[in-house]
Structure 1
Amino acid sequence: MQLLCQLDTNDFPGWKRDFDSEATERMEAGLTLLQMWRDADSRSRVILLFEANDRPRAEQWLRKEQGFGGPMTATFLEFA
């Protein structure tokens, strides 16, 4: 299962530094970062794709991260 997150941040360098420092917490939540993108037209928008191995733990991580760096949307995805 994958998890697609989109957030807006006014301070990408600060957000990225904090994001990188929380790698252990994401790993403990069963999340592996597969890809990170920045919107080419809106540099404040960040899109993250994770492999999610444990949905309940990933959902718990999401609740903790809501508002971290700005508004965030999250969608769990399965292969069709």
Structure 2
Amino acid sequence: MTQLLIQTTAPDYAAWKAAFDAEAENIAAASLNTLQIWKGDANAILVLFEVANRKNAQAWLDKQSAFGRGYQAQFLETA
């Protein structure tokens, strides 16, 4: 199983979450299923997705980067 872990920061979690939720249709179209969201120290946010199609997921990440959203991302495989 392929998963995608992204990390970003947001000083206002509620505003970030509202924007993330508004992106739900695009996330689903990118073959991503949100598994877990964590809030960490220093406004860190981590999101774990299940990936059904890596090419579509990468295209979604590329689009997010083009919009200036600062995501660190890593594709992971279950070991």
- Which residue of 1 is the match for residue 35 of structure 2? 34
State how far apart, in whole Å, the 2-side matches of 1:12 and 1:38 are. Answer: 8
Q: Return structure 1 stretches of 4+ with deviation > 4 angstroms.
A: none
- Which residue of 1 is the match for residue 49 of structure 2? 50
The C-alpha deviation readout for 1:17-76, integer Å capped at 9, x for no partner, is 01001111000000000000000x32x1000000010001000000111232xx210000
Unaligned runs of 5+ in 1: none
RMSD over aligned Cα atoms = 1.0
The amino acid of 1:33's aligned partner reads T
Q: Which has the higher helix share?
A: 2
- Counting aligned pairs with the same residue, the percent is 41
3-state SS of 1:36 partner: strand
- Kindly state the Cα deviation for residue 11 of structure 1 after the two structures are TM-superposed: 2.4
The amino acid of 2:48's aligned partner reads L
The amino acid of 1:53's aligned partner reads A
Unaligned runs of 5+ in 2: none
- Which residue of 2 is the match for residue 3 of structure 1? 4
State how far apart, in whole Å, the 2-side matches of 1:63 and 1:8 are. Answer: 18
Compute the TM-score of the two structures, normalised by the length of structure 2.
0.89
